[in-house]
């Protein structure tokens, strides 16, 4: 039986640069950056020669893990949300429009535009998709209804 979610994860090209984005632009709490033993990394991922550098971040109710494969070199994939196998994380944010302004001020790439959610459990709240520095999709939803 699943108890709860431990973390969401993205593979990134440069964990140190991504730490700056997730910590300084998104405001997540940086918990740790460390490497993993190659034998462990190979065993857990099933990827021969896996050499990992991992950063962990925390928000109030979740953690985000960023993994850089120091080896083997990976390929850049098209992470557009319409592609099968792509993923994204979604954060609830307060001061939604100030948060969006901060993203704009930091030259963040937006996937779409601010919209109001028309139905479901988040009906009436503002929503926006954007990308991190490796084009991984991130969604934000306002913490309250905006009319």
Which pLDDT belongs to residue 95? 95
Look at residue 82 and tell me if it is in a domain.
no
Rg (CA), the chain: 16
pLDDT tens readout for residues 8-41: 999 999 999 999 999 999 999 999 999 999 999 9
Calculate mean pLDDT across residues 43-53.
Answer: 95
- Do 111 and 64 lie in one domain? The reply is no
The Cα-based distances of 27 to 2, 30, 39, 44 in angstroms read: 29, 9, 33, 30
Higher-confidence residue: 79 or 17?
Answer: 17
Centroid of chain to Cα 112: 17
* Residue 57, pLDDT above cutoff 80: yes
Look at residue 83 and tell me if it is in a domain.
no
Q: Of 37, 71, 105, which residue is a domain's last?
A: 71
Which pLDDT belongs to residue 147? 64
Which pLDDT belongs to residue 44? 94
- Do 104 and 138 lie in one domain? The reply is yes
CATH number at residue 110: 3.10.180.10
In the chain, % of residues over pLDDT 70: 99
Mean pLDDT, the chain, integer: 94
* Range(s) of the domain holding residue 46: 8-71
Look at residue 136 and tell me if it is in a domain.
yes
Look at residue 78 and tell me if it is in a domain.
no
Calculate mean pLDDT across residues 83-91.
Answer: 93
Look at residue 2 and tell me if it is in a domain.
no
Which pLDDT belongs to residue 146? 73
Strand partners, 35: 53
What's the number of domains the chain is made of? 2
């Amino acid at each position: 039986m699943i108890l709860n979610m431990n973390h969401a994860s993205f593979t990134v090209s440069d964990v140190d640069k991504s730490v700056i984005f997730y910590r300084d632009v998104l405001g997540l709490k940086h918990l740790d950056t460390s490497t993993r033993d190659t034998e462990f990394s190979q065993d857990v991922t099933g990827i021969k020669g896996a050499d990992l550098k991992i950063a962990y971040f925390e928000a109030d109710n979740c953690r985000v893990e960023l993994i850089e494969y120091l080896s083997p070199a990976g390929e850049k994939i098209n992470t557009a949300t319409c592609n099968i196998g792509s993923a994204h994380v979604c954060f609830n944010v307060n001061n939604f429009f100030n948060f969006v302004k901060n993203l704009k001020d930091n030259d963040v790439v937006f996937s779409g535009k601010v919209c109001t959610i028309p139905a479901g459990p988040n009906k009436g709240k503002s929503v926006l998709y954007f990308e991190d520095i490796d084009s991984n999709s991130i969604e934000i939803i306002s913490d309250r209804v905006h009319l």
